[in-house]
Amino acid sequence: MNNDQAKQANRLLFDNCKEYIPKEIKIFDPHILVTQGQSAQQLIEDAIKIEIFSLKKERNVSMANSRKPDFRIIEVNINRPLLWIHHYHPSNYGVFNTKIYPKYRTYAKNAARFISKYYPELLHTK
């Protein structure tokens, strides 16, 4: 929707498309998935609950929310781990800028470790 100041898109857009998202993720079969906002988080957590995806490991990297991990390894397709990084939407300015944005380097380092462990063939070697 290209909203100003990083505001979320109209809820109707998400509600109309959310049923397709888990299937699209399975088809695209990404190595890393980054979600922002509570609705996106709930959608992936629901897919884990009904066993569309399976949770393999979880950690809390940013500590933005002490109750919910933001760094998880899930399995979308059999034997294909996916790194799922979830954090607050940028429109949640205070939390995003004080707890999420400063941890981007940590996210990047952890993502690099994930790729080297599970998908070393993707690394450029000489």
Cα 75-80-84 angle, rounded to 5 deg: 50
> Is the predicted pLDDT of residue 24 greater than 70, yes or no?
yes
| Torsion, CA 9, CA 10, CA 12, CA 13, rounded to 10 | -30
pTM: 0.81
Residue 65: its pLDDT value, please?
Answer: 65
> Is the predicted pLDDT of residue 77 greater than 90, yes or no?
yes
Residue 50 has φ and ψ, to the nearest 5°, of -95, 15
Which sequence spans correspond to the domains of the chain?
18-120
Query: Stretch 69-89: mean pLDDT, rounded?
Result: 89
Each residue's pLDDT tens digit, 59-72 = 887 666 667 788 89
